[in-house]
Amino acid sequence: MGTLFLKIASLYFLLGVGMGVGMEIAGDHRLMGAHAHINLVGWVSLALSGLVYVLFPKAGETLLAKLHFWLYNISLPLFMLGLVYLLLGNDSLMILLQIFPNILVLSVLLFVINIFKNVKAEDINKYLGRG
C-alpha cells in the first residue's frame, strides 16, 4: 500500500500549498488551520506512513495497513470539510468535527499497532544488505 499512500499524500500536498497561495491572493487567512492540517496530516504524515510501508512491505500489505489507509482517507476530508465550515464561521457541519477526528485517531492507532507487530529490525537490515 506504500505507493498508494504516497500518491494520495502528493494530492494533499498540492491541495495544501494551493490553499496557502489562495489565502495569500485573497488576503484572507481564515483557513490557516485547515491549510496547516492538510499539509501536515494530509501530506507530511501520510507520506511518512507511505515511506514506512515502502521500506517495510510486510507491514504495508496487512489488513491493518488497509484499514489505516481507508479510515484515514475517509475521515480526513470530512474532518477538513467540517473545519473549513467552522473557520468560515458556519457551525452547521459541527457533526463532522464530532465524529471524524476520532476515526482519524483510530486509524493512527491501527498504524501504531501495525508498526509494533510488523516492523522488524532484521527486515531493514536485509533491505540494507546487512545480513
| Site for ligand HEM, rule CB under 6 A | 16-17, 20-21, 23-24, 29, 32, 35-36, 39-40, 43-44
Q: State in angstroms the smallest separation of the CB of 107 from ligand HEM.
A: 20
Q: State in angstroms the smallest separation of the CB of 67 from ligand HEM.
A: 25
Compare residues 10 and 62 and give the one whose CB is closer to ligand HEM: 10
Compare residues 20 and 57 and give the one whose CB is closer to ligand HEM: 20
Neighbour count for residue 68 (Cβ, 10 Å): 28
Q: How far is CA 111 from CA 11, 16, 46, 83, 92, in A?
A: 21, 23, 11, 24, 31
Q: CA quadruple 64, 65, 71, 72: dihedral positive or negative? A: positive
- Cell for 2? 506504500
The DSSP call for residue 128 is T
Chain residue at closest Cβ approach to ligand HEM: 20
Compare residues 26 and 124 and give the one whose CB is closer to ligand HEM: 26
d(CA 112, CA 46): 13
Q: State in angstroms the smallest separation of the CB of 37 from ligand HEM.
A: 8
